[in-house]
A and B are shown apart, each in its own frame.
Chain A
Amino acid sequence: MDQLVQQLINALSLGGIYAMLALGLAIVFSIVRLINFAHGEIMTFGGYGIFLSMVFGFPPVAALCIGLGAAVVMALAMERAAFRVMRGADVISLLITSFAVSEILKVLFQNGISARPVPISFPSAWSSSYQIGGMTIGVAPTASIFVTILSLGCLTFVLRRLAIGMAMRAAAEDFDMLRMLGVRANRVVAAAFAISGLLAGVAAVIWTAQRGSVDPMMGFFPVLKAFIATVLGGLGSLGGAVLGGFVVGTLEVLTQAFLPDSLTPYRDAIVLSAVIAVLLVRPDGLLPARSGTRS
């Protein structure tokens, strides 16, 4: 029982990170049809934002806010510099563009900061744990679950209640029509990137708080998982992305916890094979995005 609850918390915590990353990918994809390979670098940049502001002596909480801001700035800069000129290009061109941006940024991080992990020392209270009913539960995973729920809640509010959110949902259905109605395209796209950057920033904060270091590849690997999560959920479907993120996170934690030792190195392979097996049955994902085509 004890172990089960702990694993559940780990699963929710890791799944939450994947869900936020996947949601950021899905928001951008649904509007501009971009599969953003450079999403991981947005997260990494957020991590470096935290690292640098700690180096310059900011208190930890302020550093986390700066990290969030850094991720948003990075996302907006990326949109402005690389993707705006490509508006309307086909999916492959966009994908390759983001692939190139990702590779270039990684090299810049390696040369500009360090190719090795740089440590971030948060207050020790953050990595401590507490007891409930005889169970030991970490502070960081708990906090990360709350932050995830809060972020997803805020995002739901923005998308359902605010004008810009509704414009974004409309853009996901039919971007051209929205523009004809007089909604400013650049603003909607920028808002989508800002939200995806913010979500990546939150993921960066949780990730660094749990791992205590930043390296140039920090964002890349979780985002690879998030890609898989978006496809599992149904590419372009926001609800699907969140679901996919939690499913991938849960599978990963479960295989970590319950797989025999001889098989644990194959964890990634097993999780991904399971995902692909699901796609065999449901090629459009668990919660497919709606689409209307006429012959």
Chain B
Amino acid sequence: MATAALHAHPARLRAANWLRTLAALAVLAGTVAFLMLLFGRTGERIALLMCVNVAAVVALAAFCGNTGIVSFGNGAFMALGAYLSGILTMPAALQRSALPDLPLWLAGHELALWGALPFVLLAGLAFALLTGSAISRLVGPSAAIATLGLLIIVHSIGVSAREFTRGSQTFYGVPRITELVYVLVAAMIFILIARLYRESRWGLFVRAVRDDEDAATALGISPRRARLVAWTLSGTLATVAGALYGHILGAFSPASFYLGLVFAHVVMMIVGGMSSVGGAVVGVVAVTLLQNAVRNLEGGITLGGISLPEVFGLTTVALGIAILLVIWLRPQGLVGGFELAPGADARLLERISGTARDAPAPRPVSTETLQARDLSKAFAGVQAVAGASFDVPAGRITGLIGPNGAGKSTLVNLITCQYTADAGSAEIGGTRLTGLARHRIIENRVARSFQNLRLFSGLTAFENVLVAALAAGYRRDQANAIALRELEAFDLADIAAMRAENLPYGARKRLEIARALAQDPAILLLDEPAAGMNPSETSDLADRLIRIREDRNIGILLIDHDLRFVNRLCSHIVVMNRGQKIAEGSPEEVRANTAVVEAYIGRGRAARAADTDPAQQKAIAT
């Protein structure tokens, strides 16, 4: 692919994203039209509920899909929205009989639905911020169970707070919405918001955190804040969806928002495909059709002379079986891991040409020096790093070599605060890095790559680099241009639209370096960038790194086991063994150092080699 095509990538991505939004909207609108044409009034009623479910599930997926954490807390927000909107809009006379003990400040407002909406929105926002401050600290299954705890808490409050909710009795008198068009428009707005969020800065951040929390943190993204944003948006939307649901039901109880509803919504989300907005919409449509088909059987029917008995809960069983089948056969859901509609490399979008601007010039790097001073770290008695001190100045590629287990990667982890140092510190330009939160390291222009690949597997190559540039604080158009610059510098233009998990190994390795460089670092820590590469790939990588150093004057700390690669790039080499720095100097000095030779090939053989065989000695040294 030529440069022109690469430069068109941001524009094509934008177009592809709009297509995907349109596809999700079209699925919804098409199904509504289908239901109304085929079933008339009944169809309209089904479509009404379906649209509310779309709103609720899209809200749920805004958190679950982007964070990868299943939440059961949606029911809690929906209950809040339904009861609050119900209380605010209820006719005053009816309210006096239904809720005689309602506190005065809430009573008798009799607002229009539109009037209640801002209050519902604000209440949802406040509640989401409050609960999110706790839940965003948790990940994985613990977070899922905490959201379940939230659901139980809100349910039990709903049952107990009789003066507001009539307890477990039916809460009635809520003005009803019967116009399909309002709910349809609402669902469409929800889809639009969820799509915009998913492709926005914070949507990309939280998806990066989902795919690899450590790597995202190293880029300067705060995982907690990213999850909090997702939770807050999801919760606020769910509160509004709950209000809508309440106005459609007209009468409900806390049980209406408990596990039954939550189960149905989670099923819808998983069946369609959790990681995309289009998936959520398709899931709701598929499950709605299934539910209505099965509901007709629930009352018991006669089929070919055999009368089936009335089975209570048949729809639940059908939902259960549907989800089991989907998980077994298509674990990513009906839509799969992608959004509906093609990506930026589609044939359809080829005619969109590039208008990408030039990348902003990298901030100048002059005299910044990363100083490691007496860094030490022990793991349960094993002294992994013991008092290591060295400098990584700008404009120089500094090698860090040593046998396996010498403490090289631990050292990088200490500098970037992945581990807490037992003693010592790392500083740059007078600022102490040690003790900072991990996501603040990049603010001091220190970036890193990882020994084991840590890419964001669900994002495309372009998005991987884009997210790094955004995390470094660039505006979207600048970040786009920077991402293009780095992809070009590392020969990744052809595969910009491919997902990172589908890339070949060498490309992934290069992508990780491109991602780190997109943050415009002064010092770059590369942990075995050439590991697993073949000789021509290694040599190509060396050329690119040399060019980067010459063009931008950044300082690189290079860890690698390929000594030929290290010798070619580095003018200064630090050697570690068993946690300690055993030598430091130019490649020639290090090569001549007996301690270094001993560390690599053992004492006896080193001595013999030095005595007898100059050729072998040379082989060791290069």
Interface residues of A (CB under 8 A from B): 29, 33, 35, 82, 85-86, 89-93, 95-97, 99-101, 103-104, 106-108, 110-111, 115, 224, 227-228, 230-231, 235, 265-269, 272-273, 275-277, 279-280, 283-285, 294-295
Is B277 an interface residue when CB atoms closer than 8 A count as contact? Answer: no
Q: How far is the CA of A272 from the CA of B320 in the complex (A)?
A: 28
Closest to B454 in A: A295
Q: What are 19 A-B contacts defined by CB distance under 8 Å? A: A86-B328, A92-B68, A92-B144, A92-B270, A93-B331, A95-B141, A95-B144, A103-B319, A111-B311, A224-B152, A265-B156, A266-B160, A269-B154, A269-B156, A269-B160, A277-B134, A279-B134, A279-B138, A280-B134
Contact check, A107 vs B156: say whether CB atoms are below 8 A apart.
Answer: no
Least CB distance, B405 to chain A, in whole angstroms: 12
Known: A110-B312, A265-B160. A35 touches B141 (CB 8 A): yes
Q: Which of B214, B266, B452 is the one whose CB lies under 8 Å from A99?
A: B266
List chain B residues, Cβ under 8 A from A269. 153-154, 156-157, 160
Extra contacts besides A104-B316, A104-B317, A265-B160 (6): CB < 8 Å: A35-B145, A100-B320, A100-B327, A107-B312, A111-B312, A269-B157
Tell me, in angstroms, the Cα distance from A268 to B157 when the chains sit together.
8
Q: How far is the CA of A86 from the CA of B153 in the complex (A)?
A: 31
Docked Cα-Cα span, A99 to B71, in Å, equals 13
> Does B99 make an interface contact (CB < 8 A)?
no
Asked whether B153 lies within 8 Å of A268 as measured between CB atoms, the reply is yes
Select which of A92, A110, A268, A279 is within 8 A of B156 by beta carbon.
Answer: A268
* Closest Cβ–Cβ distance, residue B447 to chain A (whole Å): 14
Is the beta-carbon distance between B312 and A276 smaller than 8 angstroms? no
CA distance A39 to B77 in the complex (A): 27
Partner pick for B331 among A33, A89, A104, A276, CB 8 A cutoff: A89
Chain A nearest CB: distance from B310 CB in Å?
Answer: 9
Give the residues in chain A near B316, CB-CB below 8 Å. 103-104, 106-107
Are B157 and A266 touching (Cβ within 8 A)? yes
Contact mask for chain B residues 115-143; partner A; CB cutoff 8 A; 1 contact, 0 none: 00000000000000000001001101110
- A101 / chain B contacts, CB cutoff of 8 Å: 320, 324
Hey, which chain A residues are within 8 Å of B144, CB to CB? 35, 92, 95
B70 with A92: CB separation less than 8 A: yes
B142 touches A275 (CB 8 A): no
Shortest Cβ gap from A94 to chain B (Å)? 9
Q: Which residue of A lies closest to B418 (CB)?
A: A295
Q: Are A96 and B70 in contact (CB under 8 A)?
A: yes
| Chain B stretch 317-347: residues in CB contact (< 8 A) with chain A | 317, 319-321, 323-324, 327-328, 331
Rounded to whole angstroms, the CA-CA distance of A96 and B452 in the bound complex is 30
A276 CB contact (under 8 Å) in B134, B320, B323, B451 = B134
Q: Are B312 and A115 in contact (CB under 8 A)?
A: yes
Shortest Cβ distance from A268 into chain B, in angstroms? 4
Check if A82 sits within 8 Å of B418, measured CB to CB.
no
Interface residues as binary, B263-281 with A (CB distance below 8 Å gives 1, 0 otherwise): 1001100100010000000
A33 to B314, CA, bound (A): 30
Q: Are A97 and B149 in contact (CB under 8 A)?
A: no
Check if A268 sits within 8 Å of B418, measured CB to CB. no
Chain B residue with Cβ nearest A276: B134
Q: Is B567 an interface residue (CB 8 A)?
A: no
In the complex where A110-B313, A295-B409 touch, is A103 in contact with B146 (Cβ < 8 A)? no
A235 touches B160 (CB 8 A): no
Ordered nearest first, which 8 A-B pairs have the shortest CB separation?
Answer: A265-B160, A107-B313, A100-B320, A268-B156, A104-B320, A269-B153, A231-B145, A100-B323
**Interchain CB contact (< 8 A) of B327 among A86, A224, A265:** A86
Interface: B159 (CB within 8 A):
yes
Chain A residues whose C-beta falls within 8 Å of the C-beta of B328 in the assembled complex = 85-86
Interface residues on B, range: 35 or more
- Residues of chain B within 8 A (CB-CB) of A224 are 148, 152
A275, closest chain B residue (CB): B149
CA distance A115 to B328 in the complex (A): 30
A230 to B274, CA, bound (A): 26
Within 8 A of A (CB), among B136-178: 137-138, 140-142, 144-146, 148-150, 152-154, 156-157, 159-160
User: Is B413's beta carbon under 8 Å from chain A?
Assistant: yes
> Given A85-B328, A104-B316, A269-B156, A283–B145 Cβ distance below 8 Å?
no
CB distance A283 to B142 under 8 Å? yes
Contact A96 B159, beta carbon cutoff 8 Å: no
| Chain A residue at smallest Cβ distance from B264 | A103
> Do A103 and B153 touch (CB < 8 A)?
no
In whole Å, how far is B503's beta carbon from the nearest beta carbon of chain A?
Answer: 20
- B83 — which chain A residues lie within 8 A by C-beta? none
| Separation of A295 and B450 alpha carbons in the complex (Å) | 6
- Tell me the complex Cα distance, A130–B314, Å: 48
Complex contact B327–A97 (CB within 8 A): yes
Q: What are the residues of chain A within 8 A of B140 when measuring CB–CB?
A: 91, 235
Is A107's CB under 8 angstroms from B317's CB?
yes
Q: Which of A82, A91, A235 contacts B324 (CB 8 A)?
A: A82
Within the complex, the shortest CB–CB distance from B276 to chain A, in Å, comes to 15
A284 to B138 Cα, complex, angstroms: 8
- A106→B314 CA distance, assembly (Å): 11
Max chain A Cβ within 10 angstroms of own Cβ: one of B140, B267, B274, B313: B313
> Which residues of chain A are near B68, meaning CB under 8 Å?
92
Does A285 contact B142, Cβ atoms closer than 8 Å?
yes
Return chain A residues, CB-CB under 8 Å to B134: 276-277, 279-280
B-chain residues with CB within 8 Å of residue A108 when the two chains form the complex: 317
Judging by beta carbons under 8 Å apart, are A273 and B153 in contact? yes
Please, which residues of chain B bring their CB within 8 A of the CB of A279?
134, 137-138, 142, 146
Q: Residues of B contacting A92 with CB < 8 Å?
A: 68, 70, 144, 270, 274
A275 to chain B, nearest CB (A): 7
Residues of B within 8 A of A273 (CB): 153
Whether the Cβ atoms of A96 and B266 lie closer than 8 Å is: yes
- How far is it, in angstroms, between the C-alpha of A91 and the C-alpha of B143 when the chains are bound? 12
Q: Which single residue of chain B is at the shortest CB-CB distance from A221?
A: B152
Instruction: Please measure, in the bound complex, the distance between the C-alpha atom of A92 and the C-alpha atom of B267, giving whole angstroms.
Output: 12
A272 touches B317 (CB 8 A): no
Inter-subunit contact A96/B323 (CB<8 Å)? yes
Q: CA A240 – CA B142 in complex, angstroms?
A: 13
Chain B residues within an 8 Å CB radius of A86: 327-328
What CA separation (Å) do A200 and B449 show in the bound complex?
47
Specify which chain B residues have a CB less than 8 angstroms from the CB of A97 in the assembled complex. 323-324, 327
Inter-chain CA distance A294–B148, complex, in Å, is: 31
The one of A93, A95, A111, A294 that contacts B452, using a Cβ cutoff of 8 Å: A294
Q: Judging by beta carbons under 8 Å apart, are B313 and A266 in contact?
A: no
Residues of A within 8 A of B321 (CB): 100, 104
Shortest beta-carbon distance from A180 to chain B in Å: 20
Is the beta-carbon distance between A231 and B146 smaller than 8 angstroms?
Answer: yes
| Least CB separation from B154: chain A residue | A269
Chain A residues in 8 Å Cβ range of B327: 86, 89, 93, 96-97, 100
CA distance A159 to B590 in the complex (A): 53
B159 to A265, Cβ gap below 8 A? yes
CB neighbours (8 Å) of B454 from chain A are: 295
Roughly how many angstroms separate A122 CA and B563 CA in the complex, as a whole number? 78
Q: Considering the chains assembled together, what is the distance between the CA atoms of A249 and B615 in angstroms?
A: 74
**Complex formed: what's the CA distance from A235 to B267 in Å?**
24
- Contacting pair B312 A268 (CB below 8 A): no
Bound state CA distance, A66 and B375, in angstroms? 62
CB distance from A295 to the nearest CB of B (A): 5
State how many angstroms separate the Cβ of B254 from the closest Cβ of chain A. Answer: 12
CA distance A99 to B327 in the complex (A): 12
